[in-house]
Structure 1
Amino acid sequence: MGSMIAIEDQSYIVSGLDSWRVWPSDEIFEPRLQRWLGVERFQLPPADEPSSGDGIRTRRFPEWYSCGDCGSLREFRDFDSSTGTAKCDTCEKTLTPSRFVIACENGHLDDFPYFAWLHKKNAAGSADTSGGHRLSLESSGQTASLRSIVIKCSCGVRPASLEGAFDKGAMPDLGIKCRAKRPWLGRGAAETSCDAAPRTLQRGASAAWFGITRSALAIPPWSETLQQRLNRAYPALRRRVERGDREEDLLEDIEADSTLTDNGRFTPEAILAAVRRRMELLDSAPLPDPDETLIFESASTLRREEYAQLYDGTGTVSREENFECVRAGDDLIPLPFGIKRSMLVKRLREVRALESFTRVTMPDPVGGDTRRAAMAGTPPKWLPAIEVSGEGVFLAVDEERLQTWERREGPRDRARQIRLRHTANLRERAEKARPSKPTGEITSPVTPRYVFLHTLAHVLINEWSLDCGYPAAALRERLYVDKDMAGILIYTATSDSAGSLGGVVAQGEHRALHTSLEAALARTEWCSQDPPCMEAEAAGIDSLNLAACYACVLLPETSCETNNVFLDRAMLIGTPDDPLTGFFNEAH
């Protein structure tokens, strides 16, 4: 919700969650992630027929339209267009929604203030207001620049082009403030105030909506068949256990529910024990600490639980379970240098939930960004989510060798360059959000270990996309990085046919891993953009990369956890001046 979509020649905004019509059959459960995000359940986005008017609802936005023939510029409702049409009431030509909107970093969105833009730019000029104010929009078509788009008013004020409207200070310089509007929640849903400066955006610009997603893998015990069957009935059973219902009554009611018992496959006693086990696990699980020091999601509690399961693997699992992880079987062939363990994840299930969204600037990957736009008029009890089933390979790096490498000056210096720039970005954003609070305590968590593992995941995805026949966008990284964690999971990331070709698991076998890692490192040693790429002192979004570009390391954005930042291939193969900056150069 909150994103703008084009349907034929019209523009709409997806309404808030409180207007969606969702169905119990579309519920998704992932208890760990539900507790982490503080919701009761997840829902698949509904897919009703458009003519039903149910499912995901939309509202018309922007509300300002123009006529390409007569140039009239006004709100859509003022055109008196008949229901189901978008025609000019003067010339009967099709109306065009405004190409421009304004938004702020707090997620607010509003129509471009054409009237204010024109008249504030000409505040010192004279105008005859006897004829009222009727705006028109004209484009000479001579150039594609904003100078060719001119606004006029019937009051006689001097016309003004849109040149300069996209400048960062264009709106504040004219005294135009954010009105804190939230059109996805309907009229009258604006917040009381907003101190952020509005920015002009193209209606279809990527900066108009940045989703904030959270994900989790289904791991034991949650991936076990009995726990999966318990999902729908758990809330009611928990309430009965908490209020002290007699155990005999509970067991009797459970036995009568053939869906729970699977027609006798599970005993009532086992089901009740599973309920109590889930209660204990959920109640003892830690919740996010809003005051916690900034960390990457790769070091969160959810990731730590997954890391332990991926590292140790599973025993024999039934067909219905959706997590199976075993060690690669090539015991006669040693693992490549620096790799401690290779695990074949033959089955996995990931749930990805949309937690919130923001606009103008991307949310920071370390969670230091507190901007969160409202998903509904009141805090929702559920969030939209999807689930992806697939396969993957988990690699754990040799901790002892990694610690030795981390102490070298080369990796430390290169990571320090990225960390300093990231710290400056974090502090700048914090100052905007909380001007009265000191920002000196804010420090980026970027380490040589993180940059190394992140870059390693990228080069392996690029290599495996060639070996397995997958497009790189169909593979995804999942990082497990902290002082005592060093692992990466590369897995199929799409629910369409490109995510079900098979073959990724085979890349985790020792022999195949030797071949693919050597080939990946060989490609990484040379980039078609060298020497500028390797010698770059800053690259990427907000200058948060070093030696990394689309010719060597970067991936499609859907494959990367941090939007292609915190990357440096020198961490893998070294630099011409200092080969030992590269972790894998020790092998030669």
Structure 2
Amino acid sequence: MDPIVHDLRLSETISPFGVGAIVDVRGESLIAPDTSWWNRKLAPEISCDRLVARLGGGVLRQPPAHAGRAAKETASLLYWRFPEWRFCEQCTKLSKLTGKNRGRWVNKCDCGGMLVPMRYVAICEKGSHIQDIPWFMWAHRGNDSEVTESVRHCRSYKELKFVRSTGYGEGLASLRVLCTGCGRKRPISDLVGKDSLQRDGIRCDGRQPWEEENSGGDPCEHQLQAVQRGATGNYIAERLSALDIPEERPESEEKKDQIRSHVYFEKVVADNGGPQAEMVAEWIAQELDVTKEQVLALAAGDGSDDAPLLELKDGEWAAFLKKLEGGRDHSGGDFIVDGWKVRTDAGWPPALTSRLVAVGQVRRVREVRALKGFRRHNAEAELICADLGPDRKRKPVYPAVEMFGEGIFLRFDEERIARWEDLPEVRARAQILVGRREASAWAHRLDVPEPRFIALHTLAHLLIRRLAFASGYSSASLQERIYANSQRPDRTAGILIYTAAGDAQGTLGGLVRLGEPDRILPLLSAALSDADVCSNDPVCIESDRQGSSQLNLSACHGCALVSETSCETANRLLDRQLVLGGGNVPGLLDDVLDQLRQTTAA
């Protein structure tokens, strides 16, 4: 038989159809095995040292791809059939793929009817394993009076049917698995109850469907739960992305190097906190424009060994700041940014130009996205690596794609944002989301919703919605990257809106041209004006509990939400009040629209 031929976009092989994901293709249900099954010769290596370091080592490889029509030798990805149990839509008979048919495209019953994959599978609650439900075993178990001796000892393995009994209504109770050999009939409603599989003696195999039964893994003691095979919780991908930029050292790290190399620094270390150290540290601080406390802390060793681990965004922020200072960028490569400062005399509201200090037109940027692994059932389950190969001495292979695009980078004034977020009303508003994030079992994976992050994140969404009208790109084609953190040595306050495509070597400039001085300020003003009134107001603007797990405040589909693929936090941690103000909460840009209206009226 011919193999299944189905095309996926290259980016879809990372998410949502990456390693471990279930894919429906031409009436079949398939699952993607880990990268140890790949043909390495057909999967080119992708270079991104920053991302590899964050993954803890390994190799990034692009999934096999081709252009044009597929042939026999065309590079392709392997998918495994799962679940193996299917039923005939004509005679309703249940059957399981046997070893001789696993690699063949067989989708018809002996009666000529099409075979349909069973809609329920078993998923491990903590171990992230998934497996078929042993339907014959399950159908002959239970605690009711129908489980007679003849049922217990039934051996009619090929006599199961998946039937509908109209006398039980339209729910799961009407769907039943019938054994025509012993007459046992059990409703699907018995399957989905809490601990139902455990009561029936069905245990977790401790493996993924493509792994061998005796793969040598540790036994899994966690419970199984029956779920629909298309449920979103069956696959929770953990992805990482990084911009391919020259790695720049953050300003705080450069300051530390300057302090350590100062001619008098050894005297501070030698005096070990004595009066001479205080005096010399004051000299060094004045000369290098740092604080005396920084010098003394570094001399005591506090600044060298206990410094927080640098995130991917730390190096990106430092690289953007260097590009903004350089003006017109005449360099080559995959990171080209023209930077310019915002003039306060440009005729636009001072409330806007005093807060937005610099803009970068990102003419070319390369982004690399990698799949680290996946979880099943919930975000607290065990992380399954994208490479489950038996050879542990070999470097793990992570699926990755590289994308080239363009964008707009906005840097905001740190001093003004710091003053604004210190206001009690602002901190109280943000604390609502902080508390909900801490109370959630999975939301700890999201960024800490401090005031600057919520405000700049919401502004990024408003700008994406406006850029979709002016740039030629749909909002789903635009991505955000938020740089907003006050808890790190180098505080960040900026946003990057960019577009990137995995099947094109760049874009056409429709977005980057909007970063010009006479275009970006009107677009920002228009974005704020769009969000000033929501179609769901006054309910939306007065709300403090919207979105998934109530992790949005005043933000809904009518004003601030965009495509979830465009957002770093899947449309969470948003609030219009912290941007435009509302009630007794002063917004970061709450007086911009008032100044615009006064100018227009004049």
Classify the TM-score, shorter chain: 0.7 to 0.9
Match of 2:228 among 202, 215, 230: 202
Which residue of 2 is the match for residue 65 of structure 1?
86
1:561 pairs, out of 558, 568, 575, with: 568
Post-superposition offset of 1:39: 3.2
Equivalent residue number for residue 155 of structure 2: 132
Deviates more, 1:387-396 or 1:55-64: 55-64
Does the alignment pair 1:310 with 2:320?
Answer: yes
Identical columns (%) = 33
The alignment partner of 1:503 has SS state of: coil
TM-aligned CA deviation for residue 323 of structure 1: 0.6
Give the superposition deviation at 1:369: 7.5
Q: Which residue of 1 aligns with 2:56?
A: 38
Does 555-564 or 181-190 show the bigger shift?
A: 181-190
Give the conservation status (yes or no) of the 8 Å contact 1:132–1:154: no
Shift of 1:50: 6.4
1:390: Cα distance to partner? 0.8
Identify the residue that residue 448 of structure 1 maps to in structure 2. 451
Counterpart CA distance in 1 for 2:457 and 2:205 is 40
- Is structure 2 residue 27 aligned with structure 1 residue 9? yes
In structure 2, the partner of 1:74 is 95
Q: Which residue of structure 2 lines up, in the alignment, with residue 424 of structure 1? A: 439
* Partner secondary structure for residue 589 of structure 2: helix
Give the residue type in structure 2 aligned to 1:399: E
Query: Where do residues 320-359 of structure 1 align in structure 2 (5 Å cutoff)?
Result: 320-328=332-340, 331=343, 333=346, 336-359=353-376
The residue matched to 1:532 in structure 2 has which SS? coil
**Aligned counterpart for 2:115 among listed residues 85, 95, 119:** 95
Contact 2:578–2:585 under 8 Å retained in 1: no
Does the C-alpha gap of structure 1 residues 406 and 175 become closer, same or farther in structure 2, counting only changes over 3 Å? farther
Once the 2 structures are TM-superposed, how far is the Cα of residue 475 of structure 1 from its aligned partner? 0.5
Corresponding letter in the other structure for 1:103: I
Go from structure 1 to structure 2 and tell me whether the alpha carbon gap of 1:140 and 1:47 turns closer, same or farther (over 3 Å shift). Answer: farther
| Corresponding residue to 1:415 among 416, 430, 435 | 430
Question: For 1:184-583, what aligned pairs fall within 5 Å after superposition?
Answer: 184-189=210-215, 191-220=217-246, 300-313=310-323, 320-328=332-340, 331=343, 333=346, 336-361=353-378, 363=379, 371-373=383-385, 375-378=387-390, 380-426=395-441, 445-483=448-486, 484-496=491-503, 500-575=507-582, 577-580=583-586, 582-583=587-588
Q: How many residues align?
A: 495
Q: Give the counterpart letter for 2:525 in structure 1.
A: E
Indicate conservation of the 8 Å contact 1:147/1:161, yes or no.
yes
Q: Which one-letter code corresponds to 1:132 in the other structure? A: R
The DSSP-based 3-state class of the residue aligned with 1:527 is coil
Cα 1:352/1:76, change in 2 over 3 Å? same
Judging changes above 3 Å, is the alpha-carbon distance between structure 1 residues 487 and 83 closer, same or farther for their aligned structure 2 residues? closer
In structure 2, do the counterparts of structure 1 residues 76 and 475 end up closer, same or farther at CA, with 3 Å as the change threshold?
same
Q: Which amino acid aligns with 1:564?
A: N
Q: Look up the match of 2:37.
A: 19
Q: CA RMSD in A?
A: 3.4
Give the Å deviation of 1:100. 1.9
Q: Deviations over 1:342-388 (max 9, x none)?
A: 11111111111111112223x4xxxx876335532345532111111
Q: Output the CA distance in 1 between the equivalents of 2:457 and 2:336.
A: 24
**Structure 1 residue matching 2:410: 3-state secondary structure:** strand
Relative to structure 1, the CA distance from residue 310 to residue 202 in structure 2 (aligned partners, 3 Å threshold; closer, same or farther) is: same
C-alpha distance in 2, partners of 1:356/1:56?
A: 17
Displacement of 1:8 in angstroms is 1.5
Residues 444, 60 of structure 1: CA spacing in aligned structure 2 closer, same or farther, 3 A cutoff? Answer: closer
Distance in 1 (CA, whole Å) between partners of 2:98 and 2:107 is 10
SS at match of 2:39: coil
Aligned to 2:124: 104
Q: Report deviation, 1:113.
A: 4.0
Contact 2:124 2:223 in 1 (8 A): yes
Cα distance in 1 between the residues matched to 2:314 and 2:26: 46
Query: Does structure 1 conserve the Cα–Cα contact (< 8 Å) formed by 2:437 and 2:443?
Result: no
SS at match of 1:460: helix
1:585 aligned residue = 590
Q: Partner letter of residue 481 of structure 2?
A: R
CA distance, structure 2, for counterparts of residue 457 and residue 570 of structure 1 = 14
Deviation of residue 188 (structure 1)?
Answer: 3.4
Distance 1:180 1:24, change over 3 A: closer
**SS across alignment from 1:185:** coil
**TM-score, normalising length: structure 2:** 0.74
More divergent stretch after superposition (380-389 vs 332-341): 332-341
Match of residue 207, structure 2, among 175, 178, 181: 181
**Mean Cα displacement is larger for which, 136-145 or 201-210?**
136-145
1 CA distance for matches of 2:475 and 2:505? 10
Name the SS of the counterpart of 1:420 in structure 2.
Answer: helix
Instruction: State the Cα distance separating 1:179 from its structure 2 match.
Output: 2.9
Is the CA contact 1:12–1:58 (under 8 Å) kept in the aligned structure 2? yes
Structure 2 vs 1, CA of residues 425 and 444 (structure 1 numbering), >3 Å: closer, same or farther? farther
CA change 1:24–1:114 in 2 (3 A) is closer
The answer to whether the 8 Å contact 2:82/2:209 transfers is yes
Change (3 A) 1:304 1:513: same
The alpha carbon displacement at 1:43 in A equals 1.3
Deviation at 1:449, TM superposition (A): 1.6
The alpha-carbon deviation at position 70 of structure 1 amounts to 2.2
The one-character-per-residue Cα deviations of 1:541-584 (angstroms, maximum 9, x if unpaired) are 22211122222111112111111111112111122x2251x111
Secondary structure, in 3 states, of the residue corresponding to 1:549?
coil
The equivalent of 2:173 in structure 1 is 147
Deviation at 1:203, TM superposition (A): 2.4
Point out the structure with max Rg over C-alpha. 2
Q: Render the CA deviation track for 1:264-286: whole Å, top value 9, x for unaligned.
A: xxxxxxxxxxxxxxxxxxxxxxx
Q: Unpaired segments of 5 or more residues in structure 1? A: 223-290, 294-298, 431-441
Instruction: Decide whether aligned partners of structure 1 residues 186 and 519 sit closer, same or farther in structure 2, where only a CA change above 3 A counts.
Output: farther
1:150 and 1:303 map into 2 onto residues whose CA distance is 53
Distance 1:475 1:444 in 2: 20
Q: Is the 2:403–2:502 Cα contact (8 Å) retained in structure 1?
A: yes
The CA deviation at 1:170 is 4.8
- Output the amino acid matched with 2:28: Q
Cα distance in 2 for partners of 1:30, 1:114 equals 46
Residue 7 of structure 2 is matched in structure 1 by none
Q: Whole-Å Cα distance in 2 between the matches of residues 478 and 495 of structure 1?
A: 18
Q: Deviations over 1:161-210 (max 9, x none)?
A: 22364556554565644332311334434843334443333323333222
In 2, Cα distance between equivalents of 1:81 and 1:220: 48
Structure-2 change in CA distance of 1:161 and 1:79 (3 Å): farther
Does the 8 Å contact 2:323/2:329 carry over to 1?
Answer: no
Q: CA deviation at 1:44?
A: 1.2
